Homo-oligomer: A and B are copies of this chain.
Amino acid sequence: MSNPIVDFLSKYIDLTQEETDIVTNQDMMRSYKKGTILLSEGKIAKECFFILQGCVMSYYLVDGEFKVTEFFTESQPITPVSYTTKKPSEYFLECMEDCIISLGTPERSAELMSKLPRLAAMGASIMEDQLANQRMKYDEFIKLSPEDRYQNLQKTSPDLLNRVPQYLIASYLGIKPETLSRIRKRLYS
């Protein structure tokens, strides 16, 4: 049975059987119940994540109001800003479903990299891809209307719309739930 992390890495490098075994054995998985907070505002992230199964939402609490910034699903890596900066997180990460997640720590990453120098050389490429994705997401938010962004979401993550409550999708799009209802009515009528 293939390991999703091995599949993810295979986009960048053809792993030998020995390397595949190292990655698989190194992998530290945990399961989390729906509603588990993986990271709280004010805490320093000691782990980064790779979602094997489930959905994780990142959000801010601003004056008691949710501001959803991202949904992460299967085969997506999550590198919290706090993990990089070592400063307290400004946002939350919460499991929206029962999740199975692979955990990374600086120590375990360093160990893996020392065992797999070929992979270490690809680290920058992997992060570069994530940077390009994040940049595109930002630009999309700036240049597209909420309706266009909703339609993009339908195209790129159709399942997400059924996995997550509509009011959180609305928050993610930066609009009120009523506005999302109107958009949906217009699109489906």
**A binding-site residues for B, Cβ under 8 Å:** 60, 62, 67, 69, 79, 81, 84-85, 90-91, 113, 120-121, 123-124, 126-132, 134-139, 141-143, 174
14 new A-B pairs (CB below 8 Å) besides A81-B132, A127-B130? A60-B142, A60-B143, A69-B139, A79-B128, A81-B135, A90-B139, A123-B123, A123-B124, A123-B127, A124-B124, A130-B131, A131-B131, A138-B138, A141-B142
Copies of this chain per assembly:
2
Interface centre among A130, A135, A138 (most CB of B within 10 A): A135
Which B residue sits closest to A120, measured CB to CB?
B121
A-B contact pairs, 25 of them (CB 8 A): A60-B143, A69-B142, A69-B143, A79-B128, A81-B136, A84-B129, A84-B131, A90-B139, A113-B121, A120-B120, A120-B121, A121-B123, A124-B124, A124-B126, A124-B127, A127-B128, A127-B130, A127-B131, A130-B131, A131-B131, A134-B134, A134-B138, A137-B138, A138-B141, A141-B141
Residue numbers in B under 8 Å from A60 (CB-CB): 139, 142-143
Residue numbers in B under 8 Å from A69 (CB-CB): 138-139, 142-143
Which B residue sits closest to A84, measured CB to CB?
B132
Interface centre among A62, A120, A132 (most CB of B within 10 A): A132
